Amino acid sequence: MQRAVFLDRDGTLNVEREYLSDPEQLTLFPGVPEALRRLQDAGFALFLVTNQSGIGRGYYTEADMHRVHARLGERLEAHGVRFTKIYFAPEAPEQPGRGRKPSPRFLFDARDEFGVDLAQSYMIGDKWSDLECGWNAGVKCSILVRTGYGAETEARLGAPRGPLQVVDHLPAAVDWILGA
């Protein structure tokens, strides 16, 4: 069984831009490519799991999102990093959909398609829905980064429903995972 790290995109890997649809506006946080490389080198499969409600709301197209993901892929490939798969939920929150976080559906899909051991895997994000997604899938730990909406999320946390670690940013999350 494969260990994996499931990653939110906006606010976790890159600077939060409301409804990011222009690849030129993609700005990775410092240390993100190197941190992802460390995970990959340690044997973790990397999956992107992202809600993209701007598509369902009509703010941008699925093609726009794919262009942003292509740019993200280019930036990461320069460091030898590659996602095993990118999962995205294009629905607006009020629209029916199968994978929109906090649904664990995409994590279950990765388990079934790639042999991921969810009990030895992690979910990293900056919103409550990211944390819940991990808990709903039974990951080893959900990790909240304080980037993006993370500090705001931390201030409203309440009682977590599962294992939780809070860190400043993605490189610190990777330090914690590799030291855990």
Single out the catalytic residue among 10, 64, 126, 130.
10
Contact 171, 149 (CB under 8 A): no
Give dist(CA 90, CA 92) in Å, integer.
Answer: 7
Give the C-alpha separation, 93 to 145, whole Å: 23
What is the C-alpha separation between 43 and 41, in angstroms, rounded? 5
φ, ψ (nearest 5 deg) of residue 93: -55, -35
Q: Is 10 a catalytic residue?
A: yes
Helix (H) or strand (E) run with residue 37 in it: helix 32-41
CB half-sphere exposure, 72, CA atoms < 13 A? 27
Q: Is 22 one of the annotated active-site residues of the chain?
A: no
Active site residues: 8, 10
